[in-house]
Structure 1
Amino acid sequence: MEGNTAWLLTSAALVLLMTPGLAFFYGGMVRAKSVLNMLMMSFGAMGLIGVLWVVFGYSMAFGDDVGGGLLGNPGEAIGLSGLMGGDTLSGTGFVAFQAMFAVITVALISGAVADRVRFGAWMVFAGIWAVVVYFPVAHWVFAFDAKDAETGEVTKVGGWIANKLGALDFAGGTAVHINAGAAALALVLVLGKRAGWPKEPMKPHNLPFVMLGAGLLWFGWFGFNAGSALKADNTAGVAFINTFTATAVAMLAWLLVERIRDGHATSLGAASGVVAGLVAITPACAFVDTWGALAIGVVAGALCALAVGLKYRLGYDDSLDVVGVHLVGGITGTLMLGLVATGGVKEGTPDGLFYGGGLSQLGKQAIAAVAVLAYSFVLALVIGFLIKKTMGFRVTTEDEVTGIDEAEHAETAYEFGGSRGGRATNSSGLAGTAKKLEGSKA
């Protein structure tokens, strides 16, 4: 028991580390004038969603069902009442672990709207979306019926995808990645394109940041996936090795596509391939063998590498390819479970089509993916539109062009000329130097 609790708490800490890792991953991909705002959107999610989760979010996700498998009872554990005492795995350890899932799911969305969003508007969106979308969807996917050990009677009812539909999702392909990717697409459509996109080059300003972020994400993802076993057992070990395997081959697949298509294998491609593999193996990590993990990784790495180019053909400005990586990767892993899942790895797992199980499980996986995608997309579209029409969502074009960091946070990420920070950078730093040069020329 103590070992399981230790593993769960360690996994929770690993998943928490993923959000700062995501902040660096996203922060390195934007231009220098936007990096602080990008980091702040992830850190803002950590604070806001963390508070909402412990007040009533956990109860909405894992409370006894009050709506036909759609929602947990929000009042069952207000402020975690009834969970702070005792010494059970279902108490605070599980609450902490699932809190980190809620945080990073919201933070993932931010990459799609980089360079153009007001920080206050983002925080309002993040809070509302978490309450009306993430908490209910987490209930659908992660809340399993509880049964009496002796009688087998159901003592607590969970969500419809996990219990009635029977779709497989070990660690969040639907609840996290399809959910966040669909919301990202909706926000992109509400906000419109960045000023100058796609004609103006918008290259990453710090590729070492991107690589560092990808490395932190890969490291933390072992807690994300293997921790979802909730025990330090063989299922956790299977999830761990499959997470490593699929991610490694997805990176290679992405780089191969780049090499064939563009003539170069890039560091940005390597980092993106890592994330694509992590996303795709998430729902499947405990349900597939090594060959299944390799297949998922190869397909996800290649598909996501191709999918990120769709925004140029279809004209939607997904700044940091959240749709191309998380939505496409999440759908890939979720659907491929219907092909390569096998009971030979985890007892009780229904076999996929390639293991003699027929099309039944593939159909269930497709229903789960479409349901989460549609729900998240529609609700995010409505929330984003309402914020846009009331308080305003975007910064002004002038602030977007000159620098969202200074406009929204009164800071800049990099100091030049020995200036002392914030707005003083432009007034007494670069601009002041320019005036001195003009004076000397005169």
Structure 2
Amino acid sequence: MITGSAIETMIAAEAERFAKAKPVSADRAKRAAAHWYRGVPFHWMLDWGTPFPLFVKEAKGAHLWDVDGQAFDDFCLGDTGAMFGHSPPPIAEAIAHQASRGLTAMLPGEDVVAVGDALASTFGLPWWQVTSSASEANRAVIRWCRGITGRDKILVFNGCYHGAVDDVFVDLRDGVAELRRSLVGQVYDVRDHTRVIEFNDRDALEAALAPGDVAAVLTEPALTNVGMVLPEPGFLDAMRELTRRFGTLLVFDETHTISTGHGGYSRTFGPSPDMFVLGKPVAGGVPAAVYGFTNEVAERMERVRASGEGGHSGIGTTLSANPLAMAAMRAALEHVMTPKAYDHMLPLAAQLEEQIRGVIRARGLGWHVTRVGARGEFICEDSAPRNGSEARMAMHGPLERAIHLFLINRGILIAPFHNMTLVCPATSQGQVDRLANALDDCLQTLTG
């Protein structure tokens, strides 16, 4: 059993240990606070639970070094942006080569043909477009779905996250839809155009689609942003059948579930969506994203385009598909995001899953461990959540902060959100062993 006092004691001790060991980061944090709002250039950099931000000096492969000289085994990997490792040589070389040959031109470059071929062969969809982020790709897909169906509503699942897209910031609280409390400056009620239901609820899905006014179901094949919620057997197939029955487009956002296997969750297990979004990892962490779609969707998009007029569509920016991003994307698809990479990542992630499960059992805890390919998570509850509401109830903020601080102080980074880990092609068995051993030490301290 882990008590509240044990958690408080660990947080206090580990925060003090961090502060003493990081004088250079402390100095950088103080100086940065002079001009950066809240002391950082982007607010997620504060989400690690440390007394002040950890400033990075270098990252390579599955390792990261801070400005105080400490080395870390990195199982966060930029929260998927570096899912195939930090600065893989093919991507670093492609960026360096392109950097002196032009960064943006609003014209296609020589990498375009190769990238299109690689996207189609890897993910099984014939048509593609490029944006600068998954948020932008999801926003574009929502607009296209509404445009080609003539319907104004989309459907999402409770606890979803699809980037900075206003339309999806709706939650269920005690079965009632409400605007997500973190949404800043929202001036209209997105619930007028967005329905939200629980994941794995087939009956609720059918009822939500039955009126025939939903343009798209937008979802991850397995939820990964509210903790990890796996689809129950048959749920995704039912989703595919119901969307077809009611004329709704099915969109899979695989920015995180690309961890499943080569081609993502849908290519590994099915079913195939109408549209597909992939963000951060597609260019190795260089800002870029793609969305793909079927022949039928492409034909419908063309009819919408032909019925309008040229000019500002609200889709994409002039930086989309810039030569630097395309060069990085080509290197990632051809040389980094390969079947061989998954042949290393998946067995090692399965090994990490079993080692963490063994540590939890050895300390007399009934916590659950789950995995989607190279992505794993331990959940501080006795059973796996089946929807967003259950996943939120399984979150224990102070306990998770204590664990994260303990691991950081021992040179191990896991994702600051929940207890999520990623294994990349550069991750070693030694790193997996160190994570499991450090977690064992942490739980031994917490349980007394």
Q: Which structure features the higher share of helix residues?
A: 1
TM exceeding 0.5: no
- For Structure 1 versus Structure 2, the TM-score category normalised by the shorter chain is under 0.3
TM-score between both structures, scaled by the size of structure 2:
0.27
Q: Which structure features the higher share of strand residues?
A: 2
